[in-house]
Every structure is written in structure tokens, then in C-alpha cells.
């Protein structure tokens, strides 16, 4: 058991904490440009989000508005400047040099996303016993109940990718100090606009985890995979839990 615990701790460290070497330095001019572009798209995204929140569940405008918001985040990310996929240390050390080989983060962030989903499912067992929190979750599920599951899967995945491209891509790179904290705060504020307590609480935990992945790996691939694994799991699990 001790060896298993030690292996898990090493796995968590390389996925969320150990910062791999990279050179993603920006010139002062490039940083200012990224900051201005990011700020502009934050305002644009706020407008589109405000419009989408006025749409009733089941409306034919729900999907276009959702894709429009995802388009804003993705476009803002790519226009702001270069984005990087990132790397993390491989599980096995290099035999000769005693150093970790760097690989693209794929399996680890997916497992972290599924682990987060498991925590939320366990928490859901408690939440459904508290009336006002139960109503908060069911208000989110109203959109799932009114839509086609295959389309909702696509919408959920597209939004997960777009949000991470912007918040852990463009916005993170635009923040010269404490980017994990400030990008998480920005993501929580954006979620607060929904007025849903449970979504905001989820944004806090998810934002911190994917922020740490961004810091450790230096790229957006790990946050994207974790976000999508978590959100798709929630899409499938919550209707069963609160049905």
C-alpha cells in the first residue's frame, strides 16, 4: 500500500505540480497586444453570455447561442497570440540520464477529469437531499432534458475546448503574475453570471485544477482534456442521479 501511495503522489505531482522546462517568453509588445485582445474578447463574451442566458430551455436559439459563445472564446484565444499544447514528464524515467522524457499529456488529464466527476457524483448524493441546492442542479438539467443527447454531447465538448483555449490559453498567458489564481477568478466570475450556485462551485474546483495543469504542462491540452472528461461525465451522470 505504501508503494501504491507513493506512486499516486508522484503521478499527481507530475500532472499538477512539477513545472516542465519551456521557453514561452513574450516581448513586452506581444504581451500588451495579448492583454488588449483578451480584454476585448472578455467584454464580447460577456455580451454573448448575457444574451444566451435569456434563452428559455427548449428554445431553438439555445444551440446557436451556445456555439456563438464558444466561437467567441476560441476566436479570442487564437487571435491573442501563440498557444501551446504543453508537455508533462513521462511515467518512466530515462534509463541513462535519470531524467524524465517529456510527453503530451493525454491519459493523466482524462483520469483527473473522471476523478473530479466521481467527486461531484458523490457530492450529488448529498446535494439532492438539500432542497434549494437540488433545485439549482435541476435548473441546469432542464436544458439537457429539452435537447438531443448527441447534440448536447457535441455542445458540451465544443464549449469545454473553447473555454480552456481562452481562459487557460489566452487569458492565462496575458497574466504576468499569479495566472493560476487570476484565470480561475475570471472563470468563476464568468460562471457567476449564470446565477447558479452549483455551477459556480464547480467552476471554482475545476478552474483551480485545470489552472495547475496549465502551470505544470505549459499548455492547453491537459486543461482541455480534463474539462471535457469532467463535463461529459456530468452530462451523462447527473440525469441518472437526479432523475
Angstrom distance (rounded) from CA 163 to CA 105: 18
In a domain, 130, yes or no: yes
In a domain, 56, yes or no: yes
**Mean pLDDT to the nearest integer, 127-142:** 78
In a domain, 161, yes or no: yes
Contacting residues for 178 by C-beta, under 8 A, at least 6 apart: none
Percent of the chain with pLDDT over 70: 91
Query: Residue 86: helix, strand or coil by DSSP?
Result: coil
Angstrom distance (rounded) from CA 57 to CA 62: 7
In a domain, 194, yes or no: yes
C-alpha cell at 161: 475546448
Residue 222 reports pLDDT greater than 70: yes
Residue 7 reports pLDDT greater than 80: no
| Residue numbers of the domain that contains 80 | 27-85+100-241
Residue 93 reports pLDDT greater than 60: no
| From 42-51, 177-186, 227-236, the region with the lowest mean pLDDT | 42-51
Residue 181 reports pLDDT greater than 60: yes
Helix 197-217 with 2-16: angle, nearest 10 deg: 90
pTM assigned to the model: 0.90
Number of domains in the chain: 1
In a domain, 199, yes or no: yes
Residue 143 reports pLDDT greater than 70: no
Instruction: Decide: 145 and 239 in contact? Cβ < 8 Å.
Output: yes
152 C-beta neighbours (distance < 10 Å), count = 20
In a domain, 58, yes or no: yes
In a domain, 4, yes or no: no
In a domain, 53, yes or no: yes
pLDDT at 95: 44
Amino acid at each position: 500500500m505504501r508503494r501504491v501511495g507513493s506512486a499516486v503522489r508522484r503521478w499527481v505531482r507530475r500532472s499538477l505540480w512539477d513545472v516542465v522546462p519551456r521557453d514561452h517568453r513574450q516581448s513586452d509588445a506581444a504581451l500588451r497586444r495579448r492583454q488588449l485582445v483578451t480584454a476585448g474578447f472578455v467584454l464580447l463574451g460577456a455580451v454573448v453570455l448575457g444574451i444566451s442566458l435569456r434563452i428559455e430551455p427548449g428554445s431553438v436559439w439555445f444551440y446557436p447561442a451556445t456555439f456563438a459563445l464558444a466561437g467567441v472564446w476560441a476566436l479570442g484565444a487564437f487571435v491573442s497570440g501563440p498557444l501551446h499544447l504543453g508537455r508533462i514528464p513521462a511515467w518512466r524515467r530515462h534509463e541513462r540520464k535519470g531524467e524524465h522524457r517529456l510527453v503530451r499529456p493525454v491519459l493523466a488529464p482524462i483520469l483527473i477529469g473522471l476523478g473530479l466527476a466521481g467527486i461531484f457524483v458523490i457530492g450529488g448524493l448529498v446535494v439532492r437531499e438539500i432542497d434549494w441546492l437540488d433545485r439549482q442542479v435541476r435548473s441546469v438539467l432542464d436544458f439537457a432534458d429539452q435537447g438531443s443527447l448527441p447534440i448536447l454531447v457535441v455542445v458540451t465538448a465544443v464549449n469545454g475546448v473553447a473555454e480552456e483555449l481562452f481562459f487557460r490559453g489566452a487569458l492565462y498567458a496575458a497574466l504576468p503574475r499569479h495566472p493560476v489564481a487570476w484565470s480561475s477568478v475570471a472563470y468563476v466570475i464568468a460562471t457567476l453570471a449564470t446565477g447558479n450556485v452549483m455551477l459556480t462551485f464547480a467552476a471554482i474546483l475545476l478552474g483551480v485544477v485545470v489552472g495547475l495543469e496549465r502551470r505544470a504542462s505549459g499548455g492547453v491540452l491537459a486543461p482541455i482534456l480534463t474539462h471535457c472528461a469532467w463535463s461529459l461525465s456530468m452530462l451523462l451522470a447527473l440525469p441518472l442521479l437526479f432523475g
